[in-house]
Chain A
Amino acid sequence: MTAAPESAPQTGRPLPRKEDARLLTGRTRWTDNIEPPGTLHVAFLRSPMAHARLTRVDASRARGLPGVAAVFTGTDVASEQGSLPCAWPVTEDMVTPPHPPMAVDEVRYAGEAVACVVARDPESAADALEEIDVDYEPLPAVLDLEEALAEGADLVHSGAGTNRAYVWPFSNGDVDAAFEGADVVLARRYRQQRLIPAAMEPRSVVCAPEEDGYTMWSATQIPHVLRLMLATVTGIPEHDLRVVAPDVGGGFGSKLQVTAEEVLLLLLARRLGRPVKWTETRSEGFQTTHHGRAQVQDVAIAADADGRLRGLKVDLLADMGAYLMLITPGVPILGAFMYPGIYRMDAYSFTCTGVFTTTMPTDAYRGAGRPEATYAIERIMGELAEELGMDPVELRRRNWITRGEFPYTTVAGLTYDTGDYEAATGRALELFGYQELRAEQERRRKSGDAVQLGIGVSTYTEMCGIAPSRMLGELNYGAGGWEHASVRMLPSGKVEVVTGSSAHGQGHETAWSQIAADRLGVPVEDVRVLHGDTRVCPRGLDTYGSRSLVVGGSALVRACDRVVDKARVIAAHMLEAAEEDLEFAGGRFRVRGTERPSAAVQEVALAAFAAHDLPEGAEPSLDSDAAYDPTDFSYPHGTHLCAVEVDTETGAVRITGYTAVDDVGTVVNPLIVDGQVHGGLAQGIGQALFEEAVHDAEGTLTTATMADYLLPSAADLPRFTTDRTVTPSTTNPLGSKGVGEAGTIASTPAVVGAVVDALRPFGVRDVPMPCTPERVWRAVQEARNGGEGR
C-alpha cells in the first residue's frame, strides 16, 4: 500500500485530458459503433415540404422489398407515440400544440418524419424510402415572425387559432420615467439569425429490448432526463428503461433534447422485439436537429449626457419553430435576465413573444438566450458611445458595477456574487494594445485606406451553474437544477467517482479526477470517473448551461468530504486517537502536533473493507454520495476585444487580433478552460461572420449542407490571446463559475461591433449577421449613396 504523495494540488494544473486518446482516435463507443446482434436499421422518410396536409402515405411497395422488415407510417404508430415533451411552460396560458414524433395528418416543417423503414441493413432501408408514395396537399408556409402575428395570418397549428405561443413580460423600476427624462434615447433592431448547432458527432440512437425492459444508447447530453421523459411519453415504466450516453461527440445544446427519433426507436424495439439503430446523416441533421437563436430584438436604451444609463427596454420576437420542444420556450427567457449585463441602471423592461413558424423547432444552442442578450446590450452600448462621442470602454467603465459593490442585485433581479470588471478590462486593454490600435485606426481613417480597421468591445457576464432548483421552480421549469456525485473507495485504495452530469467532450474525467485527487489525497491516475449510464449513475440532471463543474463538481466535493468524514472515524480507531485530534492532509490522517504513526486514506479504505476491527457504529465502507443544489447562479465575466480589417472594396472581413480575458472563478484545469474559450470563440465568430440557416419562400432549408452553411475552420480564425483574472464565486464550494459558453456569448458582439466600428466613417450603424462580404459591401454602398447605413 503506497501512501498518497504530498505533492502540489492537482487543481489548477494543465493536466492533459485523460479521455483524449480514445476520443481523438475514435477507438471508443460512439453510439454508431454499437450494434447488438440482430440489429435492424431504421431510415426516416422526411417531408420535403414545410407545411402540408398528408392525404396519402402508401408504403405497400416498400414493405415488399427484400431486406425490409417493416415500414411504419404516422398512422401506424398514432395510438402509442404520444407527444414529444416540453418541460418549460413559461406562462400559465402558453399554447402547447401536440407534437407527434411522426406526422399523422399534417407536416409543419421540412424534414418532419412521415414514415420509417426498418431493414436488415442501412442500404436496404435507404432504398426502400424511395418506394413510399406520399401525397402532400400544400398549406401556406409561415416564416416571418411579424407576419405570423398579424391579423388573419396563416396558421401553423390551425387548432390553436394563433401563432402566438406566449407573451412573457418582466419589468423593474419606472421605465417610462427613465426614458422620459433621458438626454439620449437610442432604439435599435437586431436580428439573431437562425443557427445550426452542427456537433461533430451526428445524432445516433440504438435501442435494444432486453428481458426486463429496454436499453437505449443515444448520443445525448441528458441520459437521465431522457429516461424520465421516455417513460412519461411511452408509458413504459421508468425502471424498465436504461439510457446510456456513451462517448458523445459534442452537443452545444443540440443534444439537450428528447427527440422524435429516440421515442420512435423505443416504440420500434417494442413492436419488433429486435434491436434497432438509426444514425442521422449530416444533411438530415441540419434539417432535423433543433436549431438555435432565431430572434428579432427591438432594444432601446436611455442615458444621461454623461453616459450614465437610465433604462433599457427589450421587446423580443422569438421563433419557436413548428413545435415547443424540451425547453424551446424557455431559451429566450434565460436571456431575459442578462440584458442589463454588467451595468447599473434604474429601470428595465422585457417582453418576449414566442411565435410559431413552419420551421424546425429552436431550442438551446451554446449560451441559450444569453448570447442573444449579450449581443443586444453590447452592440447598443457601442452605439451609445458613438452617439455620445465617448470611448466605448469609458462608457462601460462609467456604468459597470464596481468591484466594491458586490454582491450586487441588478435591475433584472439577479444578485451577482463576485466580479472584478476593472481588472479583466485593464488586463485585456493591455494585452490587446488598445491605444496603439486606436491610433492605427485613426491613421487609416485619415488616409482613406481601402482597408479600414475596426475595434469591438464586449464586457460580458452570464448566469451559469444552472441552477438553484428553487429559482427554476419560480420560472415554472419542470425539474430542479441540483447535481449528484458518488465516490466509491475500492479496497485497493483506488477510487471510482460517479457523476450525474454527462460529459460530451468537456473533459469531466480529467477535471473530476483532479478534484477527487485533491480532496482525498490520492494520485490523480488512481481515480476513474463514470458517467452517462442511468444504471451506473442512477441520479443526475446531466450537462448543459455551464453547470457541470459548478454544480456537479460541488457535489463531488461534498461526496469526497463525506468519505473523509467516514474515514476519520475509522482512522481515529486505527491510530488510537480522538477524532478531533486528527488532521487530514495529503491523503493521510495524522495526530495533530505529534510524531505518532499516521494512516493513509487507502489504508483506511482497506480497513473499512476488511471490517475486522471497526469502531462501534462504523459502516464497513467509506463510499459516500451527495447531491448539491446551488444556492444561486454563478456569474463568469470578462472583457473581449476584437480587431478587424474590413476591405471596403470587397467587403471582406479579417480578424487581425482577438483578446479574451475571462474570469471564470477558480480554475480546475487551465488547459480545459482554454479549450472551452477557443471553441466558444469559434462558434461566436461563426455567428458573427459565417453561419446562417436560410429558408426559401416555401420554407425549404436552402443551407442544408456544409457547402452553403459555412462553419469556420482553423484557417478562418485568428490566433487568440487569452488570459484570466480570478475572483472566486461564493455560491459554490469550488469557487468556479463555469466556462462552457463564455467564449460564444462574449465574442459575437465583439466581432460585429468591430466590423461596424471599421465602417463608422461611412456612416454605417449596423451590418446584419452574419457579416458576409456581400452584406458589408452593400452596407458601405448604401451609406455612401446617402442612406443611413443598415
Chain B
Amino acid sequence: MIPAPFTYLRPDTLGAAVAALAADEEAKALAGGQSLIPLLRFRLAAPTTVVDLSGAEGLRGVREEGGAVRIGALTTHHEVARDPLVAEHCALLAMAARTVADPAVRHRGTLGGSLAHADPAADLPAAALALDAEMEVEGPDGARTVPAAEFFSDYLTTALEPGEVLAAVRVPKRTGWSFHYEKFSRTAQAWAIVGVAAAVRHRDGRVAEARIALANMGTVPVRAHEAEQACRDASGPEELRGAGALAGRAGSPPGDLHGGADYRRHLAGVLAGRALAEVVRS
C-alpha cells in the first residue's frame, strides 16, 4: 500500500533530529522502520513529517559505561543478539532479540525503535523491564533519564514527550545473574501470545532474587511481582513451577484471535515456571 504524503528529513545530528521533531507536532521518528513503515502503508499513521534517525551520529553501538552497558537506540536486534558486552552483562536482551520476527526484521529493526514503539506484544520491552534498564532521552529541553518501569505508559505509548527521542538504553550489569526468555508464538515469525523475561540470581540451585517481566499480558509489559516473591528461596522444578504459576495473576491480558485472556494467564504461569526452572538449571 502507499502511505499518505509526508515530508522526509534525515538530519545528521541528534540535536537536529530533536529540533525537527519539535518543529512539527505531527512528526514521527523513523528508526529501523519495522513498525512505522507498515503503519504508514496502511495509512494507520499519517505524520506530516518523518524524521529518519539513521543519519544521526552516535546512535548505534554498544559500550561499557561504569556499572552499565549502554546500547545506542539504533543498534539493530541482530547486533544486540550477537554483541559480546550484552552477552556478558545482560544476556536476557540478546535472548529476546534473537526471537524477534525473522532475520530480515532483525537486521533492520532496532532496540530503540522497538522500545519507543512500545507494542505490548514485543519482546524487547519485557526484557528491558526485567533488566531494570534506563532510557536516555534527548529532547528540546535537554537530556533526561527514564527507568523502564516508568517508560511504558500505555498501549503504544511511552513517557516520551513530543520532540523527544530515545537516544540510548542503559542496562545495569547483572553479575551473577542468569537469564531466560521464554516466547510462545504460533509460528516462528509471529508475535508472542505471551513472553516471559526472567532474570534470576541463584545460589546452589536456590533462587535468591528474581525479576520477571511479561510480554503481551496487558497494555504495557508487566512485572510478575507475586511470582517474583514466591520464588525467593525456591528450588527444584516443582517449587519453581509452583512459584512461576503465580505469573498468571499479573497484568490484564487481552483476548484476541490467538488466545483468550484466561488462556494467556494460564500460559504465563506455565511459561514462567519453565523459565525459572530453566534458569536455575543452567
Q: How many residues of A contact B (CB 8 A)?
A: 28
Which A-chain residue is minimally distant from B266 (CB atoms)? A777
Knowing A774-B263, A778-B263, the reply to whether A123 touches B2 (Cβ < 8 A) is yes
The interface residues of chain A lying within 8 Å CB-to-CB of B102 are: 713
Flag if B4 contacts A127 (CB, 8 Å).
yes
Say whether A716 contacts B187, CB under 8 Å: yes
Stretch with Cβ within 8 A of A (4 or more), from B90-98, B171-179, B188-196, B214-222: B188-196
Q: Which residue of A lies closest to B193 (CB)?
A: A773
In the assembled complex, the CB of A684 is this many whole angstroms from the nearest CB of chain B, namely 16
Q: Point out the residue from B2, B191, B266, B267 that lies within 8 Å of A707, measured CB to CB.
A: B191
> Is B257 a contact of A694 with CB atoms below 8 Å?
yes
* CB of B236 within 8 Å of the partner chain: no
How would residues 123 to 145 of chain A score, 1 for a CB under 8 Å from any chain B CB and 0 otherwise? 10011001000000000000000
**Which residues of B, 243-272, contact A by the 8 Å Cβ criterion?**
257-260, 263, 266-267, 270-271
| Chain B residues with CB under 8 A of A777 | 263, 266
A707 and B190 in contact, given A126-B2, A774-B258, A774-B260 (Cβ under 8 angstroms): yes
Closest CB in chain B relative to A510 CB, distance in Å: 30
Q: Give the residue of B5, B184, B257 whose beta carbon is less than 8 angstroms from that of A127.
A: B5
* Complex Cα spacing A122 to B189, Å: 30
B contact residues, total (Cβ < 8 Å) = 24
Q: How far is the CB of B160 from chain A (nearest CB, A)?
A: 24
Are B187 and A690 interface neighbours, CB within 8 A? yes
Contact B188 A713 (CB under 8 A): yes
Q: Is the CB of A652 within 8 A of B259?
A: no
Contact with B along A698-718 (1 / 0, CB 8 A): 000011000110111101100
Contact in complex: B184, A710 (CB < 8 Å) = no
CA gap between A641 and B5 in the complex, in Å: 53
Q: How far is the CA of A33 from the CA of B184 in the complex (A)?
A: 40
Q: Which of B2, B191, B258, B260 has the most CB of A within 10 A?
A: B2
Nearest chain B residue, comparing its CB with the CB of A703: B257
Chain B: minimal CB distance from A46 (Å) = 12
Contact of A702 among B43, B191, B257, B260 (CB under 8 A): B257
Kindly state the separation between the CA atoms of A675 and B5 in the bound complex, as whole angstroms: 43
List residues of chain A with CB within 8 A of the CB of B257. 694, 702-703, 708
Q: Which residues of B contact A715 (CB under 8 A)?
A: 187-189
Residues of B within 8 A of A778 (CB): 263
Known: A652-B184, A702-B257, A708-B257. A713 touches B189 (CB 8 A): yes
Q: Are B187 and A710 in contact (CB under 8 A)?
A: yes
The residues of A that contact B266 with a CB separation of less than 8 Å are 777
Residue contact B187 to A713, C-beta cutoff 8 Å: yes
Given the complex, which residues of B lie within 8 Å of A127, measured CB to CB? 2, 4-5
Task: Determine the residue in chain B with the shortest Cβ distance to A694.
Answer: B257
Check if A650 sits within 8 Å of B184, measured CB to CB: yes
B184→A773 contact, CB < 8 A: yes
Q: Are A281 and B263 in contact (CB under 8 A)?
A: no
User: Distance in Å from the Cβ of B114 to the closest Cβ of chain A?
Assistant: 15
Q: What residues of B have a CB within 8 angstroms of the CB of A122 in the complex?
A: 2
Contact with A along B1-24 (1 / 0, CB 8 A): 110110000000000000000000
Q: How far is the CA of A774 from the CA of B184 in the complex (A)?
A: 11
CB proximity to A under 8 Å, residues B180-203: 184, 186-191, 193
In chain A, what residue has the closest Cβ to B4? Answer: A127
Give a binary string over B39-59; 1 marks a CB under 8 Å from any A CB, 0 the rest: 000110000000000000000
Interface residue? A772 (CB, 8 A): yes
How far, in whole Å, are A569 and B184 apart by their CA atoms in the complex? 71
Q: Does A649 contact B (CB under 8 A)?
A: yes
Contact between chains at A649 and B270 (CB < 8 Å): yes
With A127-B5, A774-B259 already in contact, the answer to whether A710 and B186 are too (CB < 8 A) is yes
Is A283's beta carbon under 8 Å from chain B?
yes
Residue among B43, B191, B257 facing the most chain A CB atoms (10 A cut-off) = B257
The CA of A262 and the CA of B216, in the complex, are separated in Å by 43
Query: Is the CB–CB distance between A650 and B267 below 8 Å?
Result: yes
How far is it, in angstroms, between the C-alpha of A127 and the C-alpha of B4 when the chains are bound? 7
Main secondary structure of the interface of B (DSSP, over half): loop
Bound-state CA distance A707–B41 (Å) is: 15
Q: By CB atoms of chain A within 10 A, which of B1, B102, B271 has the most?
A: B1
Residue in chain A with minimal CB distance to B190 = A710
Q: What's the Cα separation between A652 and B191 when bound, in Å? A: 15
Q: Which residue of A lies closest to B260 (CB)?
A: A774
A281 — nearest CB in chain B belongs to which residue? B1
A391 CB to nearest chain B CB (Å): 32
Most buried by B among A122, A772, A778: A772
Specify which of B5, B42, B189, B258 is in contact with A772 (CB 8 Å cutoff).
Answer: B258
Shortest distance from the beta carbon of B258 to any chain A beta carbon, whole Å: 7
* The residue from A126, A130, A652, A690 contacting B1, defined by CB atoms under 8 A apart: A126
Name the contact of B186 in the complex, choosing from A281, A649, A772 (C-beta under 8 A).
Answer: A772
Q: Contact: B42 with A283, CB < 8 Å?
A: yes
Q: Give, as a whole number of angstroms, the nearest-CB distance from B14 to chain A.
A: 31
B243 to chain A, nearest CB (A): 16
A708 to B185 CA separation, bound complex (whole angstroms): 12
Query: What separation, in Å, do the CA atoms of A710 and B190 have in the docked complex?
Result: 8
**In the complex, A567→B254 CA distance in Å?**
74
**B184 — nearest CB in chain A belongs to which residue?**
A650
Tell me the nearest residue of chain A to B1, going by C-beta: A281
Q: Please, what's the 1-or-0 string for A707-743, where 1 marks a CB less than 8 Å from any CB in chain B?
A: 1101111011000000000000000000000000000
Q: Complex: how many Å from CA A123 to CA B2?
A: 6
A218 to B270, CA, bound (A): 51
A122 to B258 CA separation, bound complex (whole angstroms): 35
- In the complex formed, the residue of A with least CB distance to B121 is A707
Q: How far is the CB of A698 from chain B (nearest CB, A)?
A: 16
Q: Which residue in chain A gives the minimum CB-CB distance to B2?
A: A126
Q: Which residues of B contact A703 (CB under 8 A)?
A: 257
Query: Whole-angstrom distance from the CB of B150 to the nearest CB of chain A?
Result: 29
Residues of A close to B193: CB separation below 8 A: 773-774
- Cα of A711 to Cα of B189 in the assembled complex, Å: 10
Determine the chain A residues whose CB is within 8 A of the CB of B267 once the complex forms: 650
Give the docked Cα–Cα distance between A212 and B267 (Å).
Answer: 66
Within residues 134 to 188 of chain B, which ones have a CB less than 8 A from any CB in chain A? Answer: 184, 186-188
Task: State the Cβ distance, A4 to closest chain B Cβ, in Å.
Answer: 47
Q: Which residue of B lies closest to A707 (CB)?
A: B191
By a CB distance below 8 angstroms, the chain A residues around B5 are 123, 127
Within A93-138, which residues are at the interface with B (CB < 8 Å)? 122-123, 126-127, 130
A716 B191 Cβ-Cβ under 8 A: no
Nearest-Cβ distance from residue B139 to partner chain A, whole angstroms: 32
- B170: min CB distance to chain A, Å: 31
Which residues of B lie under 8 Å from residue A708 when comparing CB positions?
257-258
Within 8 A of A (CB), among B219-251: none
Q: How far is the CA of A123 from the CA of B4 in the complex (A)?
A: 8
Most chain A CB atoms below 10 A, which of B43, B191, B267 = B267
Q: Report the Cα distance A41→B241, complex, angstroms.
A: 59
B3 to chain A minimum Cβ distance, whole angstroms, is 8
Given contacts A127-B2, A708-B257, A773-B184, 9 further A-B contacts (CB under 8 A): A281-B1, A652-B184, A710-B186, A710-B190, A713-B187, A713-B188, A713-B189, A715-B187, A773-B259
Across the A-B interface, the 5 shortest Cβ-Cβ residue pairs? A715-B188, A126-B2, A281-B1, A774-B263, A774-B259
The 26 listed contacts between A and B (C-beta, < 8 Å) are: A123-B5, A126-B2, A127-B5, A130-B43, A283-B1, A283-B42, A284-B1, A649-B270, A650-B184, A652-B184, A690-B186, A690-B187, A702-B257, A703-B257, A707-B191, A708-B257, A710-B190, A713-B102, A772-B186, A773-B184, A773-B186, A773-B193, A774-B193, A774-B259, A777-B266, A778-B263
